[in-house]
Amino acid sequence: MSERYWPEDGELVVCTVVDVKDFAAFVTLDEYEGRQGLIPISEIARGWIKYIRDYIREGQKVVCKVLHVDTSRGHIDLSLKDVNDHQRREKIQEWKNEQKAYKWIGFAAEVAAIDPARIIEALRSEYTMIYPFFEDLVVVGEEVLTRFDFSDEVNKALMVVATDNVKVQKVTISGIIDMMSDKPDGVNVIRRALRSAEAKIPGVEVEITYLGAPQYQIKVTAPDYKSAEKAIEKVAANTIGVVERAGGSGKLIRKQK
């Protein structure tokens, strides 16, 4: 699945165990065209190992850390013990997502009557992995496609595949904006401030609720906490900025939900 021909030292890779010996396990790297790697018994598990097959067996999918790559000799040394459970789960999920993404490209290419390799080549100019492209299509929308010179048929097919298959989990955070204006037209100042909070942020939903002067609840829903945090800070800054420029004051009181 990778556009690189060899993995890099320290990289996590998905492997299939093909042969287990008393001293090592031999694997193929699923993301690198089946290149072969070796896990010495000292890198199978921590502590003393009596029977290697108690820890690894043929046909098993494992996540390994790349220790060293010797391209001249075609050797890839791997470690199984240096990968914790969290890393393993994340890497397996990432690998599964990429497999799905390539299938989706195949579906879209068939509908649009185009070679899927052309779509993949174009996406690789912007994305190191393909699945995030489909996530962006769902979260951001069709404007993502303007980065590429696809035909209308390809754009439509990709959009349909994305909306039918990608389910983006969202998170919601909230806070309270406390703002006041002593100006004669203070009510209008607050209204302008609240309108500024309605500015569109791609992939983000913003909801403002009046709690009772001088407090207003702001609720932000986004694909992840990082995006949500940025969005609530931006919305609060815009809103409070309007009030402060009119001689008033404001602050954001954070709370998570």
For CATH 2.40.50.140, list the domain ranges present in the chain.
12-82
Q: How far apart, in Å, do the first and last CA atoms of the chain sit? A: 38
Q: How far apart are CA 158 and CA 133, in angstroms?
A: 10
What order of strands is seen across the sheet that includes strand 205-212? 205-212, 215-222, 171-180, 249-256
| Torsion sign (Cα): 144, 146, 150, 156 | positive
Residue 51 has pLDDT above 50, yes or no: yes
- 50: which DSSP letter? S
CATH 3.30.56.10 fits 87-165, yes or no: no
Region for residue 242 given its phi and psi (left: phi exceeds 0; alpha: psi -120 to 50; beta: otherwise): alpha
Q: Is 144 helix (H, G, I), strand (E, B) or coil?
A: helix
CB atoms within 10 A of CB 56: 19
Q: Give the pLDDT of residue 256.
A: 46
Least confident of 107-116, 163-172, 186-195: 186-195
Q: State the amino acid at position 118 in one-letter form.
A: R
pTM higher than the cut 0.85: no
For CATH 3.30.70.1130, list the domain ranges present in the chain.
171-256
Topology of domain 12-82, CATH: OB fold (Dihydrolipoamide Acetyltransferase, E2P) (2.40.50)
Beta bridge partners of 210: 216
Average pLDDT, rounded, for the chain: 87
Q: How far apart are CA 60 and CA 115, in angstroms?
A: 33
| CATH code at 171-256 | 3.30.70.1130
Contacts of 234 (CB under 8 A, 6+ apart): 201
For CATH 1.10.150.190, list the domain ranges present in the chain.
87-165
Q: State the amino acid at position 154 in one-letter form.
A: V
Q: Give the pLDDT of residue 44.
A: 95
